[in-house]
Amino acid sequence: MKLPKKLNPNFFATLNEKIADLKSAGADIIRLDIGSPDLPPAPHIVEALNRGASCSISHGYQSHRGTSALREAWGEMYQRVFDVSLNPDKDIQPLLGSKEGVFHLSLALLDPGDLVLVPDPGYQTYAQGALFAGADLFTIPLLPENDFLPDLSTIPVQAAQRAKILWLNYPNNPTTATASLDFFVEAVDFCRQFNILLCHDAAYTQVTFNDCRAPSVLQIPGAKEIAIEFNTLSKSHNMAGWRSGVAVGQAEALAALLNIKTHADSGHFLPITEASVAALIGDQSWLAERNAIYQVRRDVVVSALRDMGFSHQVPEASLYVWCPLQDGTTADQFVLHLLENAHVSLAPGTVFGGYGEGFVRISLVQPVERITEAMERIRNKLQVAR
Ligand SMILES: Cc1ncc(COP(=O)(O)O)c(C=O)c1O
């Protein structure tokens, strides 16, 4: 069978298979590659799911718009966390996880030959959605010397004029960089000038350390006319498997997204929407405790890497450490060496684009003992290699 080129497999799907083979041969693999939270959601969220699942009328198809209670709960969260007012009837579209919305938005809005501005390195679905829609990509490098923010002034006017969408993501996966409101003002101005839809992926805004407050792009006055923002309970509330996210902002873009969703899915499982409401408007105090756990893990990774001679930025947000390699080692070589010899799995920066070469991403989603052991194994293998 001849497969079209765009059907390249997802890196993590292939990695899962390789790791399954190593495990069945008896290897104890420590996975610090993927960003799937290891801790459970708070008990009141699980209780809401259980209550809903025990109810006999919970089991049918649901509206593609989501329940009004769910849209209102997302609106309450945006008001509380970002001081952003949203109209639950037209500014809020629940999603089966934000990845679904990111991908479907591209299919909904892009025609073959359209141009999309994508960050590199970046979350793969921005580029993959555009490619599936037949659109062209214009890559904006995220460089350490610019604090991993795109330099919008380097985008040629012709590309800006042709572009339909600009993707941004802060706190950033994989670089962990954060963006200020000043940067968002610049991005909104740029998109307004060239009539581009600004799509901001805010997946990690509630995974922050110390005093870091990660803003929403919708805090910029007037942004709602030019921008949509994706958010998710996957990372903020440890609910990655539940598939509960949202797109908020520019009403016509949301309507186009809803239209494609009516063809592609059949709504949430009702108890998941009820549990999502509990997550969004119930007790939030546990989030600070959870972030403190990630912070301890981060500090273990940061200090072990420093001891090994790596120099990298200390993340203020996200589930990751983004580490530059030394001596011209390629990311793929480094990761393969550690997987096969130390049984520690990291994500090579190249998964996120060409500008990720020379970096690896280390996830903080294992208990601190396992992370400590992983760093010890890495240290031992690198000492042998040197
Ligand atoms: C930047 C970013 N956006 C979106 C997602 C997808 O999240 P969800 O589980 O809501 O689909 C991820 C998941 O890793 C991510 O890193």
157-202 pLDDT, tens digit per residue, is 999 999 999 999 999 999 999 999 999 999 999 999 999 999 999 9
Nearest CA residue ID for atom 5, ligand 1: 99
**What is the structure's pLDDT at 227?**
98
Q: How many helices (H) and strands (E) does the chain have?
A: 13, 11
Which are the contacts of 69, defined by CB distance < 8 A and separation ≥ 6? 273, 274, 277
- Residue 7 in this model has a pLDDT that exceeds 70: no
Atom of ligand 1 nearest to the CA of 36: 14
Pocket of ligand 1 (CB under 6 A): 35, 97-99, 123, 169, 173, 201, 203, 232, 234, 240, 245
Atom of ligand 1 nearest to the CA of 98: 10
Q: H helices within 226-312, ranges in order?
A: 233-236, 251-264, 270-281, 285-307
Q: How far apart (Å, rounded) are the C-alpha atoms in residues 259 and 219?
A: 27
Q: H helices within 110-249, ranges in order?
A: 124-132, 157-162, 181-194, 233-236
Task: Name the token pair of 36.
Answer: 């799937």
Percent of the chain with pLDDT over 90: 89
Q: Do domains 5-41+285-385 and 43-281 have the same CATH topology?
A: no
**What is the structure's pLDDT at 385?**
58
> Most distant CA pair in the chain: distance in Å?
63
Atom of ligand 1 nearest to the CA of 173: 1
Q: Any idea which of 17-31, 148-162, 225-239, 289-303 has the lowest mean pLDDT?
A: 17-31
**What is the structure's pLDDT at 256?**
98
Nearest CA residue ID for atom 6, ligand 1: 99
**Closest to 236 in 3D by CA, of 212, 277, 208:** 208
Average pLDDT, the chain: 95
The fold of the 43-281 domain, in CATH, is: Aspartate Aminotransferase; domain 2 (3.40.640)
**What is the structure's pLDDT at 384?**
58
Which are the contacts of 189, defined by CB distance < 8 A and separation ≥ 6? none
5-41+285-385: CATH number: 3.90.1150.10
- Residue 33 in this model has a pLDDT that exceeds 70: yes
Domain residue spans of the chain: 5-41+285-385, 43-281
How many Å lie between the centroid of ligand 1 and the Cα of residue 254?
A: 18
Atom of ligand 1 nearest to the CA of 201: 3
- Residue 386 in this model has a pLDDT that exceeds 60: no
- Residue 6 in this model has a pLDDT that exceeds 60: no
- CA–CA–CA angle 106, 108, 186 (5° rounding): 50
Which residue among 32, 96, 99 is best mutated to probe the pocket of ligand 1, counting the most ligand atoms within 8 A of its Cβ?
A: 99
How many Å lie between the centroid of ligand 1 and the Cα of residue 4?
A: 25
361-385 pLDDT, tens digit per residue, is 999 999 999 999 999 999 998 875 5
Percent of the chain with pLDDT over 70: 97
**What is the structure's pLDDT at 355?**
97
**What is the structure's pLDDT at 5?**
60
SS3 317: strand
How many Å lie between the centroid of ligand 1 and the Cα of residue 383?
A: 35
How large is the average pLDDT for residues 11-31?
89
Residue 12 — very low, low, confident or very high, per pLDDT cuts 50/70/90? confident
